[in-house]
Amino acid sequence: MTPGAETDRRRRAERGGRRAEFLASLTLMLKGFAILERRFKTPAGEIDLIAKRGPLLVFAKVKARGTADQAVEAVTASARRRIERAAGLFLARRAHLAECVMRYDILAVSGLRVRHKPDAWREGE
């Protein structure tokens, strides 16, 4: 693959990822969540979306694939551990949210469809 083709591929992937995150955040907002952070980066890892509704705090992984099932299956155990570590760092910086009920969700994007999988995993699973 030529350097130019690789750059184009990365740009398309970046645009697709941002589009998926936009659709996922819109889905959460329509469900009454406030988006606290997008692409929260830490040395431990990145969390795509952090959202809050009442006492519920959601750390969400957004994944785009050809089908929703493929997207859910693409969230690996190592990705889950990175999100959990990053969530710990997020809470360390925002002690006032430590009392919230926490949940890890997956938002699987396929085309314009978003499947929200609440409580997709528990910490340490």
- DSSP for 53-121, please give it: ETTEEEEEEEEE-SSHHHHHHTS-HHHHHHHHHHHHHHHHH-GGGTTSEEEEEEEEEETTEEEEEEEEE
DSSP state of 79: H
Token digits for 52? 């809050």
Q: What is the pLDDT of residues 7-65, one digit of tens each?
A: 888 888 888 889 999 999 999 999 999 999 999 999 999 999 999 999 999 999 999 99
- Asked whether 71 and 110 are in contact (CB, 8 A), the reply is yes
Given this model, what pLDDT does residue 99 score?
Answer: 92
pTM: 0.91
Q: What is the pLDDT of residues 84-108, one digit of tens each?
A: 999 999 999 998 998 999 999 999 9
Q: Which H or E run contains 10? A: helix 3-30
Q: Which tops the pLDDT comparison, 5 or 60?
A: 60
Domains and CATH numbers, the chain: 3-121 (3.40.1350.10)
Confidence tier at 1 by pLDDT (50, 70, 90):
low
Mean pLDDT of 74-93: 95
